[in-house]
Amino acid sequence: MEQSVCKTYKPAGKPAVEKQRVAYLHSLQILDSDFDYQFERVTLTAAIALNTPMALVTLVDSDRQWFKSAQGLSVRETSRDLSFCSHIVMNNEPLIVPDASADERFSSNPMVTDPTGPKIRSYCGAPLMVRKDGEDLVLGTFCVIDSKPRAFAEHEIQVVMSMAEEVALMLNASQPRIGEHQTGVIEQEKDSRESNSVNPPTQNPEPGPRPVRLNDNRGVKVSIEDSIKFKQLRNQVGFEEAVEWLKREMIRS
């Protein structure tokens, strides 16, 4: 996708704590790390529960936005100047855009207008915020995106905000795992599941996002294997059919 900025589009500004924010983000050594299925499960859960084709964990660097996890996008980064998420970094508050083509802040953004891009129409995102030396630092966002206009309901916005809080905690808690070879991660989690099936834990439930609800009021819990299969199916048959397959799998389980 062409990444030059449209002349009439005005990117978001940068917060007063930009220097501290970027320095702390770099200190986490997360940027350009491998995909991690802890984060993949969160974005996949959000895409299914909120029925959106895109769900992202986005980290905003000095001049780019980089995706720690991305459902529905094939790229790992784009220019910060094109970023909806940079508005959240600037203002440290959720951003809800029901129709980007009718919003003067975004209507000329190439992410909205470029036919080869994601063609964003609606966006709901919340900040990934940490507290450092008395300052609130927004490292990026958790967001869901749709390719058609959409008025997000209050409970859907609350789900996104809750997941953003979880992801902010995960970014700190999972630092030793970030960048690990994913085969090793999968084998460790497989061993853990097999151990738990023999000796089920009596406390300290498995860490992860709070369950959110589908229309049939079933809790969403996506396994590593299901996440991998979902991505394969999404590429082969499309998002909607892949979601229907995953719902059937959860009902059977």
Interior angle at CA 115, CA 112 and CA 120, nearest 5 = 25
Percent of the chain residues topping a pLDDT of 70: 69
Contact (Cβ atoms closer than 8 angstroms) between residue 211 and residue 220: yes
The single residue listed with the structure tokens 């997360």 is 30
165-192 as b/e, with b when 16 or more CB fall inside 10 Å? bbbbebbeeeeebbeeeeeebeeebeee
Contact (Cβ atoms closer than 8 angstroms) between residue 166 and residue 57: no
Read off the pLDDT of residues 125-162 as tens digits, 9 standing for 90 and up. 999 998 888 889 999 999 999 999 999 999 999 989 98
pTM for this entry: 0.70
Contact (Cβ atoms closer than 8 angstroms) between residue 11 and residue 5: yes
- CA–CA separation, 239 and 227 (whole Å): 13
CA-wise closest residue to 145 among 168, 165, 117, 166: 117
What is residue 188's predicted lDDT score, i.e. its pLDDT? 44
Q: Which amino acid appears at position 51 of this protein?
A: N
Residue 227 pLDDT level (bands cut at 50, 70, 90): low
Question: Out of 87-91, 120-124, 131-135, which region has the weakest mean confidence (pLDDT)?
Answer: 131-135
- CA–CA separation, 110 and 84 (whole Å): 11
Residue 183 pLDDT level (bands cut at 50, 70, 90): very low
Contact (Cβ atoms closer than 8 angstroms) between residue 107 and residue 101: yes
- CA–CA separation, 121 and 110 (whole Å): 12
